[in-house]
Amino acid sequence: MACPVKQLRIYFVTWNVATKFPSLQQDLHQLLGITPYAEPEHWPDLYFIGLQEVKSQPQNIVLDYILFEDPWTKAFRDILKKYDYVKIRSQRLQGLVLNAFCLRKHLTHLRSIEAQYTRTGFGGMWGNKGAVSIRMAAYGVSVCIVNTHLTPHDHLLADRISDYNTIVTDHTFTVSCTTRILYHDYIFWIGDLNFRLNGEDLTAVDIDSMVKQKQLEKLLERDQLRMVMRDGQAFAELTENVVTFPPTYKYEFESQAFDLKRRPSWTDRILYKVNAVDIYDDIQLHTVQHTYKSHSNYSVSDHKPVTGEFDITVRPNVKDDVVEFQDCTMAEHFISYRLQKDFTAGNADWIGLFSNEFSSLDDYIVYEYVSRGKSTSVPGESAASTERIFFSDTALRLTETYCLVYVAQRGDLMEILGLSPAFTGLRGPIEVNASST
């Protein structure tokens, strides 16, 4: 029996990509903190990658939606799929993108996955600024990740404060007890927060000189984000680890030198909150941040990406109800499956046929809603019935392996309840017997 999971390691990336496309000259492996030689037990369990200023002209957005994802998301997915990660959800608001990736072994332990967005640009009318989020329950604890791009420019501090308060007030979810961002067990807030350094007496040249002299803490005393957190105006509920890296903005493109047309500042940040009250009998909520750093060698943008790696405590004894597929064999174009009477399928639940090495829930070959299955009796088993779903797809290949994924859809919420063993394509139907355990 496998040891219960006691904690999850989560890796965050935030990067304002300045409408640029991924560069073939810059490998993203280092940014993701993963290499082909790393031991699998040291890989993060979840990745959340927040991007700002992804190119969002109408023709780009239309093409991205046709292809399911933008070029940056595809670039990250092409790397992570080599290590058995699956993209479970994306949320986009114009140039603001948040992606969630999960190791395959954890897929059926994620519940109530929901994505939302809030516009703050032009008084809430436009999505050039705002927030996108993904929330979920993972091994019995609730996690919410928010990616934001707030109002820019040194003198518009009041607008950034207003953006934050609009988001925490208006950004809501459908899950009871966690209808707002700050109600979750764990909250991680990432993005281009656009806070600058106070003081007109401090020029761009002065800041550049102080950075070269490694006087970072002296500069951070003027950091607007620290000031508004201390004064309770915005982000006061959250915590930020010690900043030990240089300002992340503004750099000359394809360079590690500041563009002194703007005063350098720490615009790109990762903050967090743990609601560590005694709400669970079996655990004390807790997080440990292992890393918090910028990556100066990435120069495609005028911002440097920032990453952070955390461990969070989860509930080791939480029981998940999953749909367990068994005896997968290929026959004609249908699957048959069995659910115990204590499992109630929703009208929007669906089963997808995937390549066994799928790397996104958008990668289904074909799918069908469970409610359209044709029920037949199972001799001697009055407590269960066999459901049959027919697929019209004819592109299945003899040499490939497939799997089935059961997805429960409850309005805006999604849950991956079942993942079948791999089976090989043969001529004829796909036949699968399944039971809920």
Does any domain span residue 374? yes
CATH of the domain at 336: 2.60.40.2840
- The model carries a pTM of 0.91
Rounded distance, CA 143 to CA 135, Å?
A: 6
| Cα 362 to Cα 86, 221, 296, distances in angstroms | 10, 46, 33
Does any domain span residue 101? yes
Structural domain ending residue among the three candidates 293, 313, 333? 313
Does any domain span residue 257? yes
Q: Are residues 335 and 298 in the same domain?
A: no
Q: Are residues 394 and 278 in the same domain?
A: no
Q: Which domain holds residue 170?
A: 7-313
437 residues of the chain, pLDDT tens digit each = 456 789 999 999 999 999 999 988 889 999 999 876 667 778 999 999 999 999 976 544 444 444 568 999 999 999 999 999 999 999 999 999 999 999 999 999 999 999 999 999 766 555 579 999 999 999 999 999 999 999 999 999 999 999 999 999 999 999 999 999 999 999 999 999 999 999 889 999 999 999 999 999 999 999 999 999 999 999 999 999 999 999 999 999 999 999 999 999 999 999 999 998 878 988 999 999 999 999 999 999 999 999 999 999 999 888 777 787 766 666 566 666 666 556 678 889 998 889 999 999 999 988 888 876 544 444 444 444 566 667 665 656 666 888 889 999 988 899 999 898 888 765 444 555 555 44
Residue pair 208/214 in contact by the 8 Å Cβ criterion:
no
Q: Are residues 142 and 245 in the same domain?
A: yes
Nearest to 305, CA basis, from 143, 75, 102? 75
Does any domain span residue 434? no
Q: Are residues 290 and 327 in the same domain?
A: no
Task: Provide the 10 A C-beta neighbour count for residue 40.
Answer: 8
Q: Are residues 273 and 154 in the same domain?
A: yes
Q: Are residues 275 and 392 in the same domain?
A: no
Q: Are residues 163 and 197 in the same domain?
A: yes
Q: Are residues 300 and 414 in the same domain?
A: no
Rounded distance, CA 43 to CA 165, Å?
A: 35
CATH of the domain at 159: 3.60.10.10
Rounded distance, CA 148 to CA 194, Å?
A: 10
Q: What is the domain count for the chain?
A: 2
Rounded distance, CA 295 to CA 284, Å?
A: 33
Structural domain ending residue among the three candidates 313, 336, 366? 313
Does any domain span residue 436? no
Structural domain ending residue among the three candidates 259, 278, 313? 313
Rounded distance, CA 95 to CA 53, Å?
A: 4
